[in-house]
Amino acid sequence: MMKTRAAVFYEPNKPLLIEELDIDEPKTGELRVKMKAVGLCRSDHNVMVGARPVGMTPMVLGHEGAGVVDAVGPGVTRVKPGDHVVLMFIPTCGHCHHCVSGQTYACVLSANIAKGPQLDGTFRLHNRQGQAVGQFCLVGAFSEYAIVNQDSVCVIGQDHPFNSACLVGCGVTGGFNAAVSRAKVRPGSSTLIIGTGGVGMNVVQGAKAAGASTIIAVDLVEQKLAWAKMFGATHTINARKTGVVETVMNITNGKGVDFAFEVISHPDTIAQAYEATARLGTVVVIGLTPANFASLPISPLSLVLSQKTVMGTLYGAGNALVEIPKLLRMYKRGQLKLDELVTTTYTLDQINQGYEDMVAGKNIRGVIVFD
């Protein structure tokens, strides 16, 4: 029986425990990935603090990962040992209605990503007490090795650094394509991004790539606002120091922005994005709002009279099997910043410190690097 060291979630508001787990061999349609790098995404932190319920504990979190295929099980046709892969937090079955329509971000298998077991209802990880251990998003990337289904990986070129390649598994693809694919930002338009962390910074990049002439970044941390300018922001607002809506209106001569993106995951900031958006404008909600919030403070009358569009987005409304290689090609050509997103790297044993740094606003993206 192989062993793997992993960061395991047992209960909310407690540190992740680093422990050795038993890991099974890959079953039909599955492969084993030797993990090389994993981004510290806020979605995992939401689970850690109880803001996003999951189907079970214990569970290995982590979903923004990259590594090398170490072994494959029966029936695997998409990948082979030695392939470099990026994990996809939403699997792509390729044959459901949404997949065949090109909407892989809505694959029917996505209903399983927070439950814990693999697609067949069984588990590949077990702790020393004999408990089955779930895998968040069907991957559980905070582990030296991960058993995943072939539907959950995208093969990439072997010349891409893992530290940056892992980021296109979630934050880069979700943020960049929220602007380019979901909102369809137009050349010369004005945009607002509330929250400039690992996802929001890529909305900035997407808005710039789409040709937006005004890109307003909002955050509470001055350093992150300085970084946002490096990624393409034309204006910045520190929400601790000034009113967001009032300042946006001043920048846009009272019109409001054409496109607003909320990446904070809170009804109050969604309302700010709405109020700062022009008539006929579009508001895109990206952040995963805690489950205890059941409504938005938006006037239905205003929604009708202003004819604004409010929409959600998952995975940037893009086909990850297409978008991941495309974004990596852009990176290789100098058209997309990835290395600059990685503020600090950590070992697996430092994962809780990495999340403390994220909450403190010290990082754009922290990345766990395996030996």
Indicate whether 195 belongs to any domain: yes
Instruction: Please check whether residues 158 and 182 belong to one and the same domain.
Output: no
SS in 3 state form for 95-130?
A: CCHHHHCCCHHHCHHHHHCCCCCCCCCCCCEECCCC
Indicate whether 319 belongs to any domain: no
Neighbours of 123 (CB within 10 A): 17
Indicate whether 325 belongs to any domain: no
Instruction: Please check whether residues 131 and 224 belong to one and the same domain.
Output: no
Indicate whether 121 belongs to any domain: yes
* C-beta of residue 174 within 8 angstroms of C-beta of residue 202: yes
Q: What is the pLDDT along the chain (371 residues), one digit of tens a residue?
A: 799 999 999 999 999 999 999 999 999 999 999 999 999 999 999 999 999 999 999 999 999 999 999 999 999 999 999 999 999 999 999 999 999 999 999 999 999 999 999 999 999 999 999 999 999 999 999 999 999 999 999 999 999 999 999 999 999 999 999 999 999 999 999 999 999 999 999 999 999 999 999 999 999 999 999 999 999 999 999 999 999 999 999 999 999 999 999 999 899 999 999 999 999 999 999 988 888 888 899 999 999 999 999 999 999 998 999 999 999 999 999 999 999 999 999 999 999 999 999 999 999 999 999 97
Instruction: Please check whether residues 77 and 223 belong to one and the same domain.
Output: no
Instruction: Please check whether residues 274 and 245 belong to one and the same domain.
Output: yes
Instruction: Please check whether residues 158 and 191 belong to one and the same domain.
Output: no
Instruction: Please check whether residues 224 and 288 belong to one and the same domain.
Output: yes
User: Could you tell me the residue range of the domain that residue 299 belongs to?
Assistant: 175-313
Given 270, 298, 313, the domain boundary residue is: 313
Instruction: Please check whether residues 122 and 231 belong to one and the same domain.
Output: no
The pLDDT of residue 361: 93
Given 297, 313, 329, the domain boundary residue is: 313
Indicate whether 143 belongs to any domain: yes
Instruction: Please check whether residues 123 and 192 belong to one and the same domain.
Output: no
Indicate whether 318 belongs to any domain: no
Count of domains forming the chain: 2
The pLDDT of residue 255: 98
Instruction: Please check whether residues 159 and 271 belong to one and the same domain.
Output: no
Indicate whether 76 belongs to any domain: yes
Question: In CATH, what number is assigned to the domain containing residue 227?
Answer: 3.40.50.720
Question: In CATH, what number is assigned to the domain containing residue 78?
Answer: 3.90.180.10
Instruction: Please check whether residues 81 and 103 belong to one and the same domain.
Output: yes
For residue 149, report the phi and psi dihedrals to the nearest 5 degrees.
-75, 150
Instruction: Please check whether residues 205 and 139 belong to one and the same domain.
Output: no
Indicate whether 327 belongs to any domain: no
Instruction: Please check whether residues 180 and 197 belong to one and the same domain.
Output: yes
